[in-house]
Amino acid sequence: MTRLVVIGDALLDRDLHGRAERLAPDAPVPVVDAMEPVARAGGAGLAALLAARAGVDVTLVTALGADAAGEELRTLLRGVDVIDLGLHGATPEKIRVLAGGRPVVRLDRGGESCGCGPLPAGALDGADAVLVSDYGRGVAAEPTVRAALADLDVPLIWDPHPKGPEPVRGATLVTPNLKEATASASTSGEDSALAAGETAGRVLAERWRAVAVAVTLSERGAVVVSGDSPALAVPAPRVAGGDPCGAGDCFAATAAARIAQGALPSEAVRAAVDAASAFVAGDDTPRRHEGDARAVAERVRAAGGTVVATGGCFDLLHAGHVRMLEQARALGDCLIVCLNSDASVARLKGDDRPLVEQEDRAAVLNGLACVDAVVVFDEDDPRAVLETIRPHVWAKGGDYAVGELPEAETLARWGGRAVIVPYVAGRSTTRLITEVLARAR
């Protein structure tokens, strides 16, 4: 099995989820009550857990304090082999108070970095790749750690921190965010994010002698520079809302896992952007399917909006499809497309269909401005997936009667309704296929 060693500072992240419905009488601040604590591993600990979830065998080299927070963090790291270098000080904690899912304030404990013990001999033996997840607390600066990293003969991925040391020379991939990159490179951040990221990335790649530098651009994805080659821009999928805390760790962990499995840095960054976007959306999978569809529906419903859904095969997307989707979107505040899977299309249309596989069909639909999310289903009709999304409106294009739609009865159970929207006459996938075959003769 592929083995990844993660080296860096593990933190204890603690979220206090509550609600804020009034201001304090003695100060213009919200009163947060009914708080429920949720603890999780942060920093290098989170990166290690996410890499393990990506399917690689993970060893975490970190430094934990001899305190209650350190013991709690050890418990949260179960499932990952931990080499504890011993932190000279308190285990760092980040405590967020959230109201309605949004941070109100963050409280930090643990003070400044205090250093740690030396790296045991052989700790990196057998690794297919090494990820440094630096949070500026001293592990990446430990002389024995740096000496071992400088002597590596496997890929090294480095997620830097402003308070930490620079990466050792020769890293395979370094992953600063835009703010970190422009500050470290002393370049301007006044250009577009893409241009600023490329400029800073080239300066840093030269300084660090890195094979590639991927500057992450938040919701805009990432830009990768390598040598004199043109920059590679990797856009991120659209995400509705979500919590970005930990997205950088997800990006670095995914990229490191892919490189450990043999992927090129450019391939690893593509996967990392998708995974980080899904992480922000609260979906554990890197695809914008059912997880995002539920999140979109819940967000719109919570805001008092109208959730609209539609469905179909959408093989060879044409003007009729686009017009129908635009009309469906106009009926509410979001549009979720329930897309027949390849197996479902074959059962409905015949073994020679679909012409376009489901991942590509979903990608084309996601590219339309009128589509907010796509969910793929394997059944012959979308009734099961509708139960999970519970839209207010189910819109179908064509010459159906509402009574002919099997979904109508399902929607009625939660007060939803099925409607028909006009379609563009003469536009159909079957007609396109027939025309292509006729011209090919």
What pLDDT score does 217 carry? 94
Residue 249 bears catalytic tag: yes
Nearest to 93 by CA among 153, 37, 175: 37
Same domain as 429, residue 329: yes
What pLDDT score does 404 carry? 63
Domain that holds residue 360: 290-440
Pick the catalytic residue from 9, 13, 159, 249: 249
In angstroms, the CA 306 to CA 354 distance is 31
Q: Do residues 131 and 51 lie in contact, with contact meaning Cβ atoms separated by under 8 Å?
A: yes
Same domain as 261, residue 371: no
Q: Could you count the other beta carbons within 10 Å of the beta carbon of residue 330?
A: 12
Q: Do residues 393 and 367 lie in contact, with contact meaning Cβ atoms separated by under 8 Å?
A: no
Q: CA 418, 420, 421, 425 torsion: positive or negative?
A: positive
In angstroms, the CA 361 to CA 337 distance is 11
Nearest to 423 by CA among 405, 402, 397, 403: 397
- The first and second tokens of residue 143, run together, are 């002389």
Place of tokens 């028909």: 420
In angstroms, the CA 222 to CA 270 distance is 9
Same domain as 307, residue 223: no
Per-10-residue mean pLDDT of the chain, 441 residues long, equals 94 90 86 86 95 92 93 92 94 89 85 84 95 95 96 96 95 97 85 90 96 94 93 84 87 96 93 91 49 82 91 87 90 94 91 88 89 92 92 80 72 89 65 67 69
* Length reported for the chain: 441
Q: Do residues 263 and 157 lie in contact, with contact meaning Cβ atoms separated by under 8 Å?
A: no
Among the candidates 258, 281, 304, a domain finishes at 281
Q: Can you give the CATH number for the domain in which 80 is found?
A: 3.40.1190.20
Q: Can you give the CATH number for the domain in which 334 is found?
A: 3.40.50.620
What pLDDT score does 399 carry? 53
Task: Determine the residue type at 31.
Answer: V
DSSP structural state of residue 351: T
What predicted TM-score, i.e. pTM, was given to this entire model?
Answer: 0.68
In angstroms, the CA 341 to CA 354 distance is 9
In angstroms, the CA 282 to CA 278 distance is 6
For the chain, how many structural domains are there in total? Answer: 2
Same domain as 300, residue 272: no
